[in-house]
A = this chain, B = another copy of it.
Amino acid sequence: MKLAKNYAFLRRDLKQIESTLEDTIFTDQPVLHEASTQLLRAGGKRLRPIFVLLAAMFGNYNLSKIKKVASAVELIHMASLVHDDVIDDSDTRRGKPTVKSHWDNQIAMLTGDFIFAKALQQFTDIEYPRAHQILSKTMVELTIGEIEQIRDKFNYEQNFRSYLRRIRRKTALLISSSCQLGAVVAETSSETEKALYNYGYYMGMSYQIIDDILDFTATEKELGKPSGSDLLQGNITLPVLYAMENPQIKASIINLFANKEQMNQVELKRVVEAIAKSGAIEKARRVSNTYLKKAYHSLKKLPNNQSKSALENIANFIGNRKI
């Protein structure tokens, strides 16, 4: 089954959001135009806009307002990816060259800045001060998450809490904010808003854990980048943390990075496979499932409708996703 089947009824609205995204990043500055449309057209699941729409369906669903929120959160996500690729020195994303590899780090930095600014400009039409507070706070946390990721690279002694705090900031908060913002502009009750926020938060945590698992279990074709890319960057994710409970694997990881300049690709592949087979994946998947159950549970109090079913199905889908 495809993810999109879960929200087929949103197809027309999502199409509008797609053209809002294109319109929003329009500029006659050629480099910025090309760089920012490149990532946009590379696709992506548009998970955050989908959450905005689905959340808004619990209140007054006004597409002309909602699409601005939905495209703003997607653009902020995109901008953070562009900067992320600079940090991680990544050459491909979604199977396409990254902005930093097609141009350079400077252009990537400015393209990110530009997309951020355009997202905000789009968002100024939203006349809910609380919506602005939610979005800007999320942006602050996102940046702190990025810095924490740099700080925690190659730190083999970090604990599970550091990891969870980091993915909360890096991923979960923007997803929970997407749900919450949908609720805010649709003027739902505060209970509904809270439930949707929680759903998004737990979904986001689960989503990132699955992402971190896929770095070890998916193929290069599925990922759109080489397997083990995160590990190669020194990102100590949940599977790595679990795998390192085995002292031999821990030693081989530390050894792998002992001389980063002369990274042995064969050795990297061996370590990736060792992690994949260590039982760490299953343990990480269990943590992800715990969050998914919580996401599910958050929806309990919400009225049964098409949107609720879609949110439930997405949770199911994400838990089993292969890409």
Question: Which residue of B has the minimal Cβ distance to A134?
Answer: B124
Given A144-B114, A148-B29, A150-B106; A132-B136 close (CB under 8 Å): no
The 5 A-B pairs of least Cβ separation, nearest first, read A117-B139, A121-B136, A124-B132, A120-B136, A114-B143
Interface membership of A287, Cβ < 8 A: no
Interface size class of A (residues with CB under 8 A): 35 or more
Interface membership of A31, Cβ < 8 A: yes
In the complex this chain forms, how many copies of it are found? Answer: 2
A109 to B83 CA separation, bound complex (whole angstroms): 8
Interface membership of A4, Cβ < 8 A: no
- Interface residues of A, Cβ cutoff 8 Å to B: 27, 29, 31-32, 83, 86-87, 105-107, 109-110, 112-114, 116-118, 120-121, 123-125, 127, 129, 132-133, 136-137, 139-140, 142-144, 146-148, 150-151
Interchain CB contact (< 8 A) of A140 among B121, B125, B129, B140: B121
Contact across chains for B144 and A27 when beta carbons are under 8 A apart: yes
CB distance from A210 to the nearest CB of B (A): 25
CB distance from A78 to the nearest CB of B (A): 14
Given A129-B124, A133-B121; A107-B32 close (CB under 8 Å): no
CB distance from A150 to the nearest CB of B (A): 6
CB-CB < 8 A to A137: which residues of B?
121
The main secondary structure of chain A at its interface with chain B is helix
A118 to B137 CA separation, bound complex (whole angstroms): 8
A118 to B144 CA separation, bound complex (whole angstroms): 11
CB-CB < 8 A to A136: which residues of B?
117, 120-121, 123-124
Contact across chains for B87 and A143 when beta carbons are under 8 A apart: no
CB-CB < 8 A to A142: which residues of B?
117
Interchain CB contact (< 8 A) of A32 among B32, B86, B113, B147: B147
Interchain CB contact (< 8 A) of A150 among B87, B107, B120, B133: B107
Given A106-B150, A109-B86, A110-B150; A140-B117 close (CB under 8 Å): yes
CB-CB < 8 A to A117: which residues of B?
136, 139-140, 142-143
Interchain CB contact (< 8 A) of A113 among B27, B143, B150: B143
